[in-house]
Amino acid sequence: MTTIKPEVISDPRVLSERLAALRREGKTIGLVPTMGALHEGHLSLVRQSKSLCDVTVVSIFVNPTQFAPGEDYEKYPRVLDADLARLDSVGGVEFVLAPAPKDMYPEGFDAHVHIGGVTRRLEGEFRPTHFDGVAVVVLKLFNISGADIAFFGQKDYQQAAVIQKMVRDLNLSVKIRVCPIVREEDGLAMSSRNKYLSPGERKEAPVLKRALDLARKMIADGATDPAQVKHEMRTLIGSAPSAAIDYISIADPDTLDELDRIDGKAVVLLAVKIGATRLIDNMIVP
Protein backbone atom coordinates (compact mmCIF):
# COMPACT_ATOMS: atom_id res chain seq x y z
CA MET A 1 0.00 0.00 0.00
CA THR A 2 1.47 3.37 -1.06
CA THR A 3 1.43 6.10 1.57
CA ILE A 4 0.30 9.50 0.32
CA LYS A 5 2.93 12.13 1.04
CA PRO A 6 1.54 15.62 1.47
CA GLU A 7 2.37 18.33 -1.00
CA VAL A 8 3.95 21.17 0.97
CA ILE A 9 2.84 24.61 -0.24
CA SER A 10 3.99 27.95 1.14
CA ASP A 11 1.95 30.29 -1.07
CA PRO A 12 -1.69 30.54 0.10
CA ARG A 13 -2.79 31.54 -3.42
CA VAL A 14 -1.39 28.35 -4.90
CA LEU A 15 -3.18 26.22 -2.33
CA SER A 16 -6.44 28.08 -2.93
CA GLU A 17 -6.24 27.33 -6.65
CA ARG A 18 -5.47 23.65 -6.08
CA LEU A 19 -8.34 23.22 -3.64
CA ALA A 20 -10.79 25.18 -5.78
CA ALA A 21 -10.14 22.71 -8.61
CA LEU A 22 -10.80 19.77 -6.27
CA ARG A 23 -14.03 21.33 -5.01
CA ARG A 24 -15.21 21.67 -8.61
CA GLU A 25 -14.73 17.90 -8.87
CA GLY A 26 -17.08 17.49 -5.90
CA LYS A 27 -14.37 16.75 -3.32
CA THR A 28 -14.94 17.73 0.31
CA ILE A 29 -12.11 19.56 2.09
CA GLY A 30 -11.07 19.05 5.71
CA LEU A 31 -8.81 21.58 7.43
CA VAL A 32 -6.64 20.96 10.51
CA PRO A 33 -5.11 24.29 11.63
CA THR A 34 -1.93 23.87 13.72
CA MET A 35 1.15 25.77 14.80
CA GLY A 36 3.30 22.70 14.24
CA ALA A 37 5.30 20.70 16.81
CA LEU A 38 2.72 18.02 16.09
CA HIS A 39 1.78 15.41 18.67
CA GLU A 40 -0.84 12.70 18.96
CA GLY A 41 -3.53 15.26 19.72
CA HIS A 42 -2.98 16.89 16.34
CA LEU A 43 -2.81 13.52 14.62
CA SER A 44 -6.19 12.58 16.10
CA LEU A 45 -7.64 15.61 14.32
CA VAL A 46 -6.00 14.51 11.08
CA ARG A 47 -7.57 11.06 11.42
CA GLN A 48 -10.98 12.64 11.98
CA SER A 49 -10.57 14.72 8.84
CA LYS A 50 -9.50 11.70 6.82
CA SER A 51 -12.56 9.78 7.99
CA LEU A 52 -15.02 12.53 7.04
CA CYS A 53 -13.48 14.38 4.08
CA ASP A 54 -12.08 13.52 0.66
CA VAL A 55 -9.08 15.84 1.00
CA THR A 56 -7.22 16.82 4.17
CA VAL A 57 -5.19 20.01 4.54
CA VAL A 58 -2.95 20.63 7.56
CA SER A 59 -1.68 24.16 8.14
CA ILE A 60 1.60 24.57 10.01
CA PHE A 61 2.09 28.22 10.91
CA VAL A 62 3.31 29.83 14.11
CA ASN A 63 0.97 32.80 13.99
CA PRO A 64 2.67 35.98 15.28
CA THR A 65 -0.55 37.95 15.75
CA GLN A 66 -1.77 35.75 18.61
CA PHE A 67 1.36 36.27 20.70
CA ALA A 68 1.70 39.33 22.91
CA PRO A 69 5.09 40.97 23.57
CA GLY A 70 7.05 38.87 26.03
CA GLU A 71 5.27 35.62 25.18
CA ASP A 72 7.01 32.64 23.65
CA TYR A 73 6.69 33.42 19.93
CA GLU A 74 10.43 33.37 19.26
CA LYS A 75 11.10 30.13 21.12
CA TYR A 76 7.93 28.31 20.02
CA PRO A 77 9.15 25.06 18.41
CA ARG A 78 9.48 25.09 14.64
CA VAL A 79 10.23 21.54 13.48
CA LEU A 80 8.71 21.25 10.01
CA ASP A 81 10.71 18.18 8.95
CA ALA A 82 9.67 16.29 12.08
CA ASP A 83 6.06 17.41 11.57
CA LEU A 84 6.05 16.11 8.00
CA ALA A 85 7.46 12.79 9.21
CA ARG A 86 4.64 12.52 11.74
CA LEU A 87 2.07 13.24 9.05
CA ASP A 88 3.73 10.61 6.83
CA SER A 89 3.24 8.09 9.64
CA VAL A 90 -0.51 8.72 9.52
CA GLY A 91 -0.77 9.04 5.76
CA GLY A 92 -3.60 10.43 3.73
CA VAL A 93 -2.82 14.13 4.10
CA GLU A 94 -2.91 15.68 0.66
CA PHE A 95 -1.63 19.19 1.40
CA VAL A 96 0.39 21.00 4.05
CA LEU A 97 0.25 24.79 4.07
CA ALA A 98 3.52 25.99 5.60
CA PRO A 99 3.71 29.74 4.91
CA ALA A 100 6.14 32.34 6.16
CA PRO A 101 4.68 35.26 8.12
CA LYS A 102 5.05 37.50 5.03
CA ASP A 103 2.89 35.05 3.06
CA MET A 104 0.03 35.39 5.54
CA TYR A 105 0.58 39.04 6.46
CA PRO A 106 1.98 40.83 3.40
CA GLU A 107 3.28 44.38 3.57
CA GLY A 108 0.47 46.79 4.32
CA PHE A 109 -1.74 44.16 6.01
CA ASP A 110 -4.05 46.01 8.39
CA ALA A 111 -7.20 43.92 8.87
CA HIS A 112 -8.66 42.95 12.23
CA VAL A 113 -11.23 40.45 13.47
CA HIS A 114 -12.68 40.83 16.96
CA ILE A 115 -15.19 38.37 18.40
CA GLY A 116 -16.90 39.63 21.56
CA GLY A 117 -18.62 37.76 24.35
CA VAL A 118 -16.69 34.55 24.87
CA THR A 119 -13.33 36.35 24.50
CA ARG A 120 -13.78 38.65 27.49
CA ARG A 121 -12.96 36.20 30.28
CA LEU A 122 -10.35 33.56 31.11
CA GLU A 123 -7.64 33.65 28.44
CA GLY A 124 -9.05 36.98 27.25
CA GLU A 125 -8.25 38.55 30.62
CA PHE A 126 -4.71 37.22 30.77
CA ARG A 127 -3.96 37.57 27.03
CA PRO A 128 -6.13 40.48 25.81
CA THR A 129 -4.97 40.44 22.16
CA HIS A 130 -4.74 36.67 21.79
CA PHE A 131 -8.14 35.85 20.34
CA ASP A 132 -8.08 38.71 17.84
CA GLY A 133 -4.93 37.13 16.43
CA VAL A 134 -6.51 33.68 16.46
CA ALA A 135 -9.66 34.92 14.74
CA VAL A 136 -7.86 36.70 11.92
CA VAL A 137 -5.56 33.79 11.07
CA VAL A 138 -8.33 31.18 11.27
CA LEU A 139 -10.62 33.27 9.09
CA LYS A 140 -7.80 33.58 6.56
CA LEU A 141 -7.28 29.80 6.64
CA PHE A 142 -11.00 29.23 6.08
CA ASN A 143 -10.91 31.57 3.09
CA ILE A 144 -7.70 30.08 1.68
CA SER A 145 -8.90 26.48 1.94
CA GLY A 146 -12.64 26.82 1.38
CA ALA A 147 -12.87 23.97 3.89
CA ASP A 148 -16.12 22.11 4.40
CA ILE A 149 -15.12 21.00 7.92
CA ALA A 150 -12.41 22.37 10.22
CA PHE A 151 -11.13 20.31 13.14
CA PHE A 152 -10.09 21.73 16.53
CA GLY A 153 -9.15 20.11 19.83
CA GLN A 154 -11.18 20.46 23.02
CA LYS A 155 -8.01 21.24 24.98
CA ASP A 156 -8.24 24.80 23.67
CA TYR A 157 -11.88 24.97 24.74
CA GLN A 158 -12.25 28.74 24.71
CA GLN A 159 -10.52 29.01 21.34
CA ALA A 160 -12.98 26.51 19.87
CA ALA A 161 -15.88 28.50 21.35
CA VAL A 162 -14.51 31.69 19.78
CA ILE A 163 -14.20 30.01 16.37
CA GLN A 164 -17.72 28.59 16.60
CA LYS A 165 -19.08 32.05 17.46
CA MET A 166 -17.18 33.61 14.58
CA VAL A 167 -18.69 31.05 12.18
CA ARG A 168 -22.20 31.80 13.48
CA ASP A 169 -21.84 35.57 13.63
CA LEU A 170 -20.24 35.93 10.18
CA ASN A 171 -22.40 33.32 8.44
CA LEU A 172 -19.44 31.21 7.39
CA SER A 173 -20.28 27.96 5.63
CA VAL A 174 -17.54 25.85 7.24
CA LYS A 175 -18.60 23.31 9.87
CA ILE A 176 -16.58 23.08 13.09
CA ARG A 177 -15.78 19.72 14.64
CA VAL A 178 -14.35 19.82 18.18
CA CYS A 179 -12.52 16.60 19.01
CA PRO A 180 -11.72 15.11 22.45
CA ILE A 181 -8.59 15.92 24.42
CA VAL A 182 -5.75 13.43 23.93
CA ARG A 183 -3.76 12.80 27.09
CA GLU A 184 -0.49 11.23 28.15
CA GLU A 185 -0.68 8.06 30.22
CA ASP A 186 -0.48 10.07 33.45
CA GLY A 187 -3.35 12.34 32.37
CA LEU A 188 -1.46 15.43 31.22
CA ALA A 189 -3.15 16.92 28.17
CA MET A 190 -0.87 16.75 25.15
CA SER A 191 0.51 20.15 24.23
CA SER A 192 3.46 21.49 22.27
CA ARG A 193 4.39 23.50 25.37
CA ASN A 194 4.91 20.35 27.46
CA LYS A 195 8.39 20.26 25.92
CA TYR A 196 9.30 23.32 27.98
CA LEU A 197 8.83 21.44 31.29
CA SER A 198 11.88 20.27 33.20
CA PRO A 199 11.83 16.61 34.34
CA GLY A 200 10.74 17.69 37.82
CA GLU A 201 8.04 20.00 36.50
CA ARG A 202 6.81 17.27 34.17
CA LYS A 203 6.19 15.05 37.20
CA GLU A 204 4.12 17.82 38.82
CA ALA A 205 2.11 18.77 35.72
CA PRO A 206 -0.53 15.96 35.94
CA VAL A 207 -1.90 17.78 39.00
CA LEU A 208 -4.06 19.71 36.52
CA LYS A 209 -5.90 16.57 35.46
CA ARG A 210 -6.17 15.38 39.07
CA ALA A 211 -7.81 18.70 39.99
CA LEU A 212 -10.30 18.32 37.14
CA ASP A 213 -11.06 14.76 38.23
CA LEU A 214 -11.63 16.03 41.77
CA ALA A 215 -14.11 18.61 40.47
CA ARG A 216 -15.95 16.00 38.46
CA LYS A 217 -16.22 13.70 41.48
CA MET A 218 -17.41 16.47 43.79
CA ILE A 219 -20.09 17.53 41.30
CA ALA A 220 -21.13 13.92 40.71
CA ASP A 221 -21.43 13.54 44.48
CA GLY A 222 -23.81 16.50 44.64
CA ALA A 223 -21.67 19.62 45.09
CA THR A 224 -23.50 22.66 43.72
CA ASP A 225 -21.37 25.53 45.04
CA PRO A 226 -18.64 26.47 42.53
CA ALA A 227 -16.65 28.27 45.22
CA GLN A 228 -16.39 25.09 47.28
CA VAL A 229 -15.26 23.04 44.29
CA LYS A 230 -12.69 25.64 43.25
CA HIS A 231 -11.35 25.86 46.80
CA GLU A 232 -10.66 22.13 46.86
CA MET A 233 -9.07 22.31 43.41
CA ARG A 234 -6.81 25.16 44.50
CA THR A 235 -5.72 23.20 47.56
CA LEU A 236 -4.82 20.19 45.43
CA ILE A 237 -2.95 22.21 42.81
CA GLY A 238 -1.15 24.09 45.57
CA SER A 239 0.41 20.81 46.68
CA ALA A 240 2.63 20.97 43.57
CA PRO A 241 5.63 23.15 44.52
CA SER A 242 6.09 24.66 41.04
CA ALA A 243 2.41 25.43 40.41
CA ALA A 244 0.94 28.94 40.23
CA ILE A 245 -2.75 29.27 39.30
CA ASP A 246 -3.84 31.89 36.78
CA TYR A 247 -7.51 30.91 36.98
CA ILE A 248 -9.99 28.17 37.76
CA SER A 249 -13.45 28.61 36.25
CA ILE A 250 -16.68 26.65 36.43
CA ALA A 251 -18.72 28.03 33.59
CA ASP A 252 -21.62 27.64 31.21
CA PRO A 253 -20.31 25.43 28.36
CA ASP A 254 -21.69 27.73 25.65
CA THR A 255 -21.26 31.29 26.94
CA LEU A 256 -18.36 30.65 29.35
CA ASP A 257 -20.14 32.83 31.90
CA GLU A 258 -19.15 31.91 35.44
CA LEU A 259 -21.79 29.83 37.23
CA ASP A 260 -23.18 30.86 40.62
CA ARG A 261 -24.64 27.40 41.10
CA ILE A 262 -23.95 24.05 39.47
CA ASP A 263 -27.29 22.54 38.54
CA GLY A 264 -26.70 21.32 35.00
CA LYS A 265 -23.96 20.82 32.47
CA ALA A 266 -20.80 22.83 33.14
CA VAL A 267 -17.25 23.13 31.93
CA VAL A 268 -14.36 23.37 34.36
CA LEU A 269 -11.41 25.28 32.94
CA LEU A 270 -8.03 26.12 34.40
CA ALA A 271 -4.74 27.74 33.52
CA VAL A 272 -1.73 26.95 35.68
CA LYS A 273 1.93 27.80 35.40
CA ILE A 274 4.23 24.92 36.21
CA GLY A 275 7.51 26.72 36.66
CA ALA A 276 7.66 29.11 33.70
CA THR A 277 5.40 27.01 31.48
CA ARG A 278 1.75 27.98 31.26
CA LEU A 279 -0.62 25.02 30.74
CA ILE A 280 -4.38 24.99 30.16
CA ASP A 281 -6.86 22.14 30.53
CA ASN A 282 -10.58 21.59 30.91
CA MET A 283 -13.30 19.04 31.48
CA ILE A 284 -17.00 19.05 30.67
CA VAL A 285 -19.02 17.74 33.62
CA PRO A 286 -22.69 16.68 33.51
Three-class secondary structure of residue 242 per DSSP: coil
Which residues share a beta bridge with 269?
Answer: 249, 282
Cβ(74)–Cβ(62) below 8 Å: no
Question: Is 231 a known active-site residue?
Answer: no
- The angle subtended at Cα 112 by Cα 106 and Cα 113, nearest 5°, is 130
Nearest to 63 by CA among 143, 152, 140, 169: 140
Residues 6+ apart with CB under 8 A from 135: 113, 114, 115, 162, 163, 166
- The angle subtended at Cα 146 by Cα 144 and Cα 150, nearest 5°, is 100
- Which position among 42, 114, 130, 231 bears the catalytic label? 42
Quote the DSSP letter at residue 190.
P
Cβ(32)–Cβ(45) below 8 Å: yes
Give the count of alpha carbons within 13 A of 80, CB side only.
Answer: 14
Calculate the CA dihedral of residues 258, 125, 241, 70 and round it to 10 degrees: 160
| Residues annotated as catalytic (active site), given as ranges | 42
